[in-house]
């Protein structure tokens, strides 16, 4: 599992946008976005850089958390 720290999420719409962006990345099998913690857990074989890029393309900042 990959944990991402996500900055800029302030509401349920933000959470949904991040979830959709992460789910669109090839190799992702499960996404859980935690608005209150500002993080997301991603399961699958996706590349970390691709996940971060997908989040950034939605206008949020993402970085690797603990995995």
56 by DSSP, 3-state: which?
A: helix
- Per-residue model confidence as pLDDT tens digits over 9-62: 999 999 999 999 999 999 999 999 999 999 999 999 999 999 999 999 999 999
Confidence class of residue 66 from pLDDT cuts 50, 70 and 90? Answer: low
The answer on pLDDT for 67 being more than 60 is no
Structure tokens at 33: 């976005």
Question: Rounded to the nearest 5°, which phi and psi values hold at 18?
Answer: -65, -45
Is residue 2 within 8 A of residue 41, CB to CB? The reply is yes
- Number of domains comprising the chain: 1
Residue 52 belongs to a domain with what CATH number?
3.30.70.100
H helix and E strand count, the chain: 2, 4
Domain range enclosing 13: 2-64
pLDDT of residue 65: 87
């Amino acid at each position: 599992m990959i944990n991402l720290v996500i900055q800029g999420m302030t509401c349920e719409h933000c959470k949904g946008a991040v979830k959709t962006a992460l789910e669109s990345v090839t190799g992702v099998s499960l996404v859980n976005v935690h608005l209150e913690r500002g993080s997301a857990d991603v399961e699958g074989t996706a590349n970390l850089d691709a996940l971060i890029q997908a989040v950034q393309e939605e206008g949020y900042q993402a970085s690797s958390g603990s995995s």
